[in-house]
A and B are shown apart, each in its own frame.
Chain A
Amino acid sequence: MPARPWKGEWIAMCYLLAVFAVLACAPLFLPPYLKALLSSILLWIGMAVSWHLFCGSTKYVSLGSAAFFGIGVYVTAVFQRAMPFPLILLLAYAISFVFALGVGAATLRLKGMYFAIFTFGLAELLNNAILFWEMKVTGTRGRFVIAMDTYHYILIITFMVLALTIFLRRTKLGLALRTIGENEDTAAHIGVNTTFYKIIGFALSSAFMGLLGASFAPRWGYIDSGIAFNTLYSFMPAIMTLFGGMETFFGPIIGAVVLSFLEEYLLTAFKDYFMMILGSIMIIVILILPEGITGRLQRILGRLA
């Protein structure tokens, strides 16, 4: 049990619920284009905050978000005709969770580069494996998805991740993850079961990515493994979090909002240069703005005060 009551967290939850209520009603007043844009932004916030949940606190860098997102997309595509949508979401959550447990168990017992390397090719691995399966076994290429409006599902999931982040900070799990990020040897030394917490933290964060993938899939009428496991979904959560700032709650949110708008603009204005510009931003952020926007702001404000 925490030493003080969860007062701050509940206040934060009240703000969060207020924002949630506004966003839940927003589609009533928005034209379809803005609604689609808003659900993209919410998706990216969800992805970035999920990424930050594990990678931000432990400082273990995952380049495999697209693998879990893609699992979610495929779960929807395969089971959409067989069961109601909430059940699909539950299934996507469970499968991503178990898959992440496996990945974590293989790589997170060890320190260092193993986790990064393993996650780096993970999306491509699943992409190839599904491609092979479709080629040899089912003889198909991709799948059709029944289009439906999932705005509110994405909204709820993203806010679940946000609420989890708020409360996780002071639970044993959140504390353990942050201690690992500060100094893993010390954490192990004072009796934190680092492997266990790393694996659970990673599975929790990845399962939400699967959930978001499953809820976003009906936006496309047709999906194939290339769409589902696109590198973009591995890259964006990382760059959004870094851009916004690793150390704060608002970092990934601000990063996601800014870069979603940028994505929207670049995709319409400079489609061919889109990925190259994103890559350049990543390089520039690491070299010039290593603490992110929120970190830099905090420092400037701190100097003024």
Chain B
Amino acid sequence: MSLSFVVDIVIGGAILGALYSLIAVGLNLQYGVTRILNVAHGDFLMLGAYITYFCFTLFNINPFASLVIVGPLMFAVGLLIYTIMLRRMIRQSKSPEEVESRSLLLCFGLSLVVQNLAMILWTANYRGYSAPSLGAISIAGVPFEFNRILIAIISLIINVLLYLYLKFTKTGLAMRATTDNPEGAQIVGINIHNAYALSFSLSIMLSAFAGTLISMYSTISPFIGLPYTLIALVLVILAGIGSFKGNIVGSFIIGYLAYVTLRVIHSALMLVVIYAVLIIILLVKPRGLFAR
């Protein structure tokens, strides 16, 4: 095993892990607060990627700068979807279990709608663009684009910002309280429906951010969402609800496993690896690595 191979694995896996943490952190927050099993999570990632693609190809906006456009836009989309569909569904449901099973089916339908709407609008073809390069550095003979390193750094910064937001603001506290105990939260005067709406919209926005970053180095199509949805769902189980530490650690574990599979065997086996991880968690620690 050569040095360049090791360097490639170490850094490449870390970049993937950082990106995965961004994909999963929103879903973790959202599932904890609302109990909505959003199996359309990855499809919003796809939408974020398309917005960035069009910003770049039509208006020549730098992909990193397009985060500023993707953010508010997808937050609004999330809020709209929550207000039209999910609020009604949550109010009709009698228990958290009912919310889970009904939201699962509803989001499955939503996923089909989003994917196929994207296909009708933008065709099923793969698209890509070459993002403006910031140059590359060579570590032990392996070239790494600064862009990809920046992608990892931005992912981690967003994680930290979200952590600080939840820890030190009033709305953040309201969301954490709703995660722990919805009835208790209501008794102390928290409007849990606002917390639901906010966490769902945030989750959609964060997923779309990840899409922006992914579009910079990978081709996109309307159907790229599913593997990312699955990674995010598995990471929520692996991390345990509400655990930032678990999310980061879990993301790096899956990031490294996925990257090694990609490099050594073939990308078609990535899902096999993720399922293997899922089975191991279910057998050993079903409540997550850092469950409280």
Contact = CB atoms under 8 A, between A and B. Distances in A.
Given A110-B286, A113-B100, A279 B272 contact: no
Interface string A107-130: 101101110111011001100110
Contact of A287 (B89, B227, B278): B89
Q: Chain B at the A interface: mostly helix, strand, loop or mixed?
A: helix
B260 interface: no
B88 interface: yes
B275 interface: yes
Interface residues of B, number: 44
A158 B16 CA distance: 46
A287 B85 contact: yes
B234 interface: yes
Interface string B58-79: 0000000000000000000000
B272 A276 contact: no
Contact of A276 (B37, B89, B113, B282): B113
A120 B271 contact: no
A113 B230 CA distance: 13
Contacts of A113: 37, 100, 104, 233, 237
Interface residues of A, number: 42
B201 interface: no
Contacts of A117: 37, 230, 233-234, 237, 278
A298 B261 CA distance: 54
Interface stretch (A14-22, A36-44, A206-214, A235-243): A235-243
Contact of B88 (A242, A279, A287): A287
Contact of A129 (B105, B230, B272): B272
Interface of A: 59-61, 63, 106-107, 109-110, 112-114, 116-118, 120-121, 124-125, 128-129, 131-132, 135-136, 231, 235, 238-239, 242, 272-273, 275-276, 278-283, 286-287, 290
Interface of B: 37, 39, 85, 88-89, 92, 97, 100-102, 104-106, 108-113, 115-117, 119-120, 226-227, 229-230, 233-234, 237, 266, 268-272, 274-275, 278-279, 282-283, 286
Given A106-B283, A273-B120, 18 more contacts: A59-B101, A61-B105, A113-B237, A116-B37, A116-B101, A117-B37, A121-B226, A125-B271, A129-B268, A129-B271, A238-B108, A272-B116, A272-B120, A276-B116, A282-B106, A286-B89, A286-B102, A290-B102
